[in-house]
Chain A
Amino acid sequence: MALLKLEDIHHSYKMGQINVDVLKGIDIHISRGEFVSIMGPSGSGKSTLLNILGCLDIATRGTYEIDGNRIEKLSDSRLADIRNEFLGFVFQHFHLLSHLNARENVELPLIYRGMWGNDRKRKATEALEIVGLGDRLHHLPSQLSGGEKQRVAIARAITMEPAVVLADEPTGALDSHSSNNIMRIFKKLNKELGMTIVQVTHDYEVSLHGQKTYHILDGVIERIENVESGGGV
């Protein structure tokens, strides 16, 4: 059974007087343990698709199910729970809270989960160790390099052991060395911990790290490319 099930997703928004159709009938099924890339030029609708996948936005038409939960029907508060429980986000610009240190940033989703102090610290530390930052727990974001920040962000995304990690241009703001590092971590998460990963990118090289690439153009899936495993790094 598919973990994420997008069926006939349409999305449009108003720009002044005009209705702009961004997504025009997308069907995607993603199963547990997959590492999927969504690729397309800017304006193709790939970010909108990721927002919908991340329950940050609700499709104008179509159905979306996460592990059997129909997203369109949920209240704002339930959506927050879904995001917290099922989804981990990695953003292009990291979006760490600058006044919190690395571990505190990773603790954020655990706090919204309502987890108490010691469990929380232990879990956050574990997540940071997975991304190789076990020695940077108390550093503030300003004391970390770009690659390290993104690794903290990944730790924050995986600490809840979510069903899916959603990454929006995760390497978009990083140099190639750091990018490779991030991709290695993603693959490790996917292979060793069996995490489902969906990443949006416009970089073909990066997309090759996944097992399957959906090429999006003008709001529709242009083609689906299967990448031989072990590609890249």
Chain B
Amino acid sequence: MENSKKRGSFLVRWWFTAKMALHGIVANPLRSALTILGVAIGVASVVSLMGIGEGARRAVVEQFESLGANVITITAHDPSVEFDTEYHEELIERVVGLEAATPVVSDKASLKWRRTRGRVDFLGVNNQFPFIRDHELASGHFFTSLHVKQRSPVVVLGYNVAISLLGGRNPVGKSITIDGNTYRIIGVLKEKGIGKAEDIDNKIVIPYTSALKISEKRKVDAIWAKAASKIEADLAIVQLGRIFKRKLGLDQKAPNFASAKEGEEEGGKEGGEENKGSVKPVPKEPDSPRPTLPSSGDNLITITSLNKLVQEADKANRVMTLLLGGIAAVSLLVGGLGIMNIMLVSVTERRTEIGVRRALGAKQTDLLLQFLLEALYVSIIGSIAGIAAGIWGLDIFENQGFQTAVSFSAIKIATVVALSSGLVFGVYPAISASSVPPVEALRSQ
């Protein structure tokens, strides 16, 4: 009974104290508004800058992901190591976890459809291409292995090419002229978006057999492969690294090579720093048996898993986001100092009030709570306003064509920092308010 009465009395005091603290804010509207603005600007900048950073991160990740999941690209940087057109089949057999692979020929060709002429990037691949790079068809179908084998004059258009050549009409079944030869359009790829999937929207895709003919090549300089899973992609990179070292006759070359190999294996297992399996040529010794190899320092082959690139880019952007957030947090700190400043002024101004309250029976804790709550209200209102302003700012930014993301972790961080800065910076003024001896407080007028 006694106990519940006591608890009741605390409730009354605190409820009232909370109300008084609100009065403290309302009593000086302009001053409170400016202080709240300070906090709000801090919170808004954290929310918006981190949102922009997060948006940039997602944009990069999406860009990489548009290239296809678990894709491994093998690119030769020197004509001496280019691949035979059947070599990708050998790789599928030898490397565990590779599901599909295609030789890749890329070049430019002239294009003509009715009265429209122009040059266009083309991609010569086999029938596995849509599967490897995760492409879907907007209409028609992709070419088959038979088309590839027979070097059929068939073409699949990128989305933008189809639109710009034929407007809205369905191009499937129509014919276009590529480098003087007539090709039948059998499909159109679905749109990937600006800058996505190596700009596939603006390219055309033909069987690599035809492509070799157009670009007058016998060998291809790239192979794209798809692994069954992320882990298998990592393992495949290691295996590919070994295969190419052996193939290029680099495996006996002791010191340099050993380190390169180590790097690859680590890269494969940990998914860490070393995510490119680059086979580096050994510095040439005077009696080198392969004088045809390019001079030291150049990479002959790059074996890259896009997964790793995604991770790397993601990591770099995360750091960037945090950095932006950190810079914004400085303005949050300034907002907190604003609270402290105004609270100190308020305590000085209200010494008489403090004295009267003490005379009427207020304890130190009542005053401590009152001034602390006042500081906290400012930071709470500031946080809410700041979050709203930050999201609004991101919206504006988004309308300017940037990708942004309202990041809840940013909101969480900003709110926690704002509230704790309200507490931290409110504590000192509140203590100084509550510790004025009543007689001093009353005398000050």
Please name all residues of chain B whose beta carbon is closer than 8 Å to the beta carbon of A83 when the two chains form the complex: 358-361
| Known A56-B438, A56-B442, A97-B353: A112·B27 in contact at CB below 8 Å | no
For chain B, give the interface size range. 20 to 34
Q: Is there an interface contact between A81 and B445, defined as CB atoms closer than 8 Å? A: no
Q: Are B357 and A113 within 8 A (Cβ)?
A: no
Q: How many A-B residue pairs have CB under 8 A?
A: 76
Given the interface contacts A57-B437, A93-B445, A95-B352, does A113 sit within 8 Å of B359 by beta carbon? no
- Contact across chains for A109 and B8 when beta carbons are under 8 A apart: no
| Contact across chains for B360 and A84 when beta carbons are under 8 A apart | yes
Given A97-B356, A113-B9, 12 other A-B residues pairs in contact with their CB atoms under 8 A: A56-B358, A57-B439, A77-B365, A80-B363, A83-B358, A89-B356, A91-B442, A95-B356, A108-B360, A112-B357, A112-B363, A113-B361
Q: Which residues of B contact A (CB under 8 A)?
A: 5-6, 8-13, 16, 23, 26-27, 352-353, 355-366, 437-439, 442, 445
Distance in Å: Cβ of B9 to nearest Cβ of chain A? 2
Cross-chain contact B356 with A114 (CB below 8 angstroms): no
Closest to B13 in A: A114
Smallest distance from the beta carbon of B307 to chain A beta carbons, Å? 64
Per a CB cutoff under 8 Å, which of A77, A93, A99, A115 touches B12? A115
Please list the residues of chain A having a beta carbon within 8 angstroms of any beta carbon in chain B.
Answer: 51, 54, 56-57, 76-77, 80-81, 83-85, 87, 89, 91, 93, 95, 97, 99, 108-109, 111-116, 156
Whether A111 and B359, one on each chain, are in contact in the complex, defined by CB atoms closer than 8 angstroms, is no
Can you name 5 A-B residue pairings with CB atoms under 8 Å? A77-B364, A80-B364, A87-B359, A95-B355, A111-B13
In the assembled complex, the Cα of A81 lies from the Cα of B356 at a distance in Å of 14
**Cα separation A76 to B8 with both chains bound (whole Å):** 22
Q: Does B363 lie within 8 Å of A116, measured CB to CB?
A: no
* Highest count of chain B CB atoms <10 Å: which of A99, A111, A156: A111
A54 to B355, CA, bound (A): 12
Q: Is the CB of A109 within 8 A of B442?
A: no
Which residues of A lie under 8 Å from residue B366 when comparing CB positions?
112
Contact partners of B9 in chain A: CB under 8 A: 113-115
Q: When the two chains form the complex, which single residue of B10, B437, B439 contacts A114, counting CB atoms closer than 8 Å? A: B10
For A54, A76, A85, which residue has the most chain B Cβ atoms within 10 angstroms?
A: A76
